[in-house]
Amino acid sequence: MSSPTPPAALEPLDAAAFTALASARLGEVYGPRAGEVLRRLTTLLAHHRDALRARPGAGRPLWSERDQWLISYGDTLIDGDRPPLEVLDDFLEKRLGDTFSGVHVLPFFPWSSDDGFSVIHYREVNSALGDWSHIQRLAGHRDLMVDLVINHVSRESLWFVDYLAGSQPGRDYFIEMDPDTDLSQVVRPRNSPLLVPVATRRGTRYLWATFSEDQIDLNFANPDVLLEFIGILLFYVEQGARIIRLDAIAFLWKEVGTPCIHLPQTHAIVRLLRGILDHVAPGTLLITETNVPHRENLSYFGLERLEEGALERGETPDEAHLVYQFTLPPLLVHTLTSGDASTLASWLRGLPSLPAGCSYLNFTASHDGIGVRALEGLLPGHEVEALLELMHRFGGFVSMKANADGEDSPYEINITYFEALKGTRRGPDPWQIERFLCSQHLMLALQGIPALYLHSLTATLNDHEGIERSGRLRSINRRQWEMEVLDELLDSRNTPTREVFLALKRRLDIRRGEPCFHPDAEQQVLDTPASLLAIQRGPLSDGRRLLAIYNVTDKRQPLALQALAEHDWHDLLEDAACPTTPTELGPYRSLWLVSR
């Protein structure tokens, strides 16, 4: 069996090519100051070069069918006084073995709010979680994804203390604005005030704060800020990070009179960061976190900047390697609660073919809520309203964002993914586990790399007590598990936690051994009734192909697919030949068939 031609690890970008790239990108951002910034950047890279050259894993393919990633906070699992990062690593080793090739440990730095995304110190590990030896241990066992929380910083950071005192370097690290400035065009992911009053030695100043009053945006018009973050980025790679997640990157550059999202300078900085990694740490992956409508999200591949015929000449995009499939989580909930896969099928058919070196990160749940902005243009308003109302009935909440017209609109649903699928539009029913597993099994079959939130593995329920403790809606999906409690649930018979965990582990273990699930293997959505979704992956170079079929309803559905009659099929889930062509599929059941 042969996989698609893998995206080989990129050859290091040579010095001359990198200098040309960096000069161009810095010119787009800093204009006549670019030459001086480039000289400082060159010195910074030389300082890190030897440490980066010694990192393990350089030169391997970017990804394969074995790539499956877990998402977790550093302290989602706690066990007495043991460092939680050690507990997480032991859980992965003992309970999951080789099931996951990578782990995304959400911000593990000292922080003051937002469960880690308001960073106090970027080069330290939160002592309540462990230390850098625990991070390096995790990175030694599997690929490590680390957040570069690049848009904003905590008010408790030393940079902010400098700002308040009027001292360097922090004095010029933030964005002061006259409170009377017209900022009505600015796109907001929150409905909190955009400008935050701050008492300084120079009097009250108003600072830009996209997300909260404790997350003060950084001023990338000051090249010192960019160079500081490049140093932080390289430090993370030196500590073992193989994947860098650019948090909230879409809001990086601010320019009054514009929406301040996806600005050209932001894309130029992403391209610069990609060029730096390709130059001094090839094989390190860059992923952008942009919870926005689908077409905007895809812009972070940089495909539209390629000249005509560039792909045919073997050129590759030079922005992110990966983007999140933000459309998938809400669209899957809509599909499985309505019993209608037609919109999901249409969206999947419309996904563009990606060149080598670009792929999707597929997920259903994460530490954040289920974003609904990605549904814009896909579902009519009344369908979105029906979805939001149903999530309220299932114990969830809806967070809002501010619009340019002064009104608020839905931004994300706050609920665990397991609870989001506890029923259909008719209400809760006995099919919750089967429906939830169908959502995960469907996600695992899609083109790209799958990532599962730890709370999906454990079928975690809504944590309303967590909301009461923190006062934040997102806490509903951020429960901490005491290992004694979780172990008991995993080891006891007939618990949803055990059933879901074992079912997902089994499916993941099957998936990583099937070459048709290579992230780059061709994907085709077949014509089916709205009650079914059928996806073909492949064919591979040896003709092997895989057919994944899903019943998205709570009723048995007949199977009358032409593709079933075109090949002799092997049931991948049962590891057996199909003696006869399947004629029907039970509620929320799925088939993974490979051609023989």
Same domain flag for 36 and 139 = yes
Q: What is the pLDDT of residues 9-59, one digit of tens each?
A: 556 789 999 999 999 999 999 999 999 999 999 999 999 988 887 776 666
Q: Is residue 474 annotated as involved in ligand binding?
A: yes
Q: Which of 421, 405, 341, 411 is nearest to 370 (CA)?
A: 411
Burial class (CB within 10 angstroms; exposed 0-12, middle 13-18, buried 19+) of 230? buried
CATH number reported for the structural domain that contains residue 167 in this entry: 3.90.400.10
- The answer to whether the annotation marks 152 as part of a ligand binding site is yes
Residue appearing with tokens 């993914």: 417
Residue 179 within any structural domain of the chain: yes
Q: Is 250 exposed, middle or buried (0-12, 13-18, 19+ CB in 10 A)?
A: buried
Domain coverage including residue 574: 518-595
The two three-digit tokens of residue 545, written as one number: 């192909």
What are the structure tokens assigned to 4, written together? 């698609």
Q: How far is CA 195 from CA 208, 262, 402, 571, in A?
A: 5, 20, 13, 58
367 labelled as ligand-binding? yes
Question: Tell me, what CATH number does 292's domain have?
Answer: 3.20.20.80
User: Which residues, given as ranges, of the chain have pLDDT below 50?
Assistant: 1-3, 6
> Backbone dihedral region of 448: left (phi > 0), alpha (psi from -120 to 50 degrees) or beta?
left
Instruction: Kindly state whether residue 20 falls inside one of the protein's structural domains.
Output: yes
Q: What is the identity of the amino acid at 155?
A: R
Domain co-membership, 187 together with 308: no
Boundary-marking domain end, from 171, 199, 217:
217
Beta strands 102-105; 69-72: pairing state:
parallel
For the whole model, what pTM was predicted? 0.95
The verdict on whether 542 is a catalytic residue reads no
224 labelled binding-site residue: no
Using one digit for the tens of pLDDT, what is the confidence trace for 316-368?
789 999 999 999 999 999 999 999 999 999 999 999 888 889 999 999 999 99
Residue that finishes a domain, picked among 467, 500, 515? 515
Would you give the DSSP letter of residue 218? B
pLDDT of residue 56: 65
Please give the distance of CA 361 from its chain centroid, rounded to a whole number: 6
Dist. CA 41–CA 227, nearest whole Å: 7
Looking at the fold, whether 426 and 358 belong to one and the same domain comes out as yes
Q: Residue 589 belongs to a domain with what CATH number?
A: 2.60.40.1180
Asked if residue 584 and residue 458 are part of one domain, the reply reads no
Q: Determine the pLDDT at residue 51.
A: 86
**CA angle at residue 171 from 116 to 125, to 5 degrees?**
25
Q: What is the 3-state secondary structure (H, E, C) of 513-579?
A: CCHHHCCCCCEEECCCCCCEEEEEECCCCCCCCEEEEEECCCCCEECCCHHHHHCCEEECCCCEECC
Identify whether residues 409 and 422 lie together within a single domain: yes
To the question of whether residue 205 is assigned a binding role by annotation, the answer is no
Which pLDDT value is given to residue 198?
97
CB 391 within 8 A of CB 477: no
**Which of 223, 321, 282 is CA-nearest to residue 17?**
282
pLDDT score of 1: 45
- Domain C-terminal end among 217, 236, 260: 217
* Overall number of domains in the chain: 3
Residue 330 lies inside a defined structural domain of this protein: yes
Of the candidates 89, 247, 278, 318, the residue annotated as catalytic is 247
Residue 247 is assigned to a ligand binding site: yes
Neighbouring C-beta atoms of residue 506, cutoff 10 Å: 12
Report pLDDT for 312. 61
Strands 152-154 and 359-362: unpaired
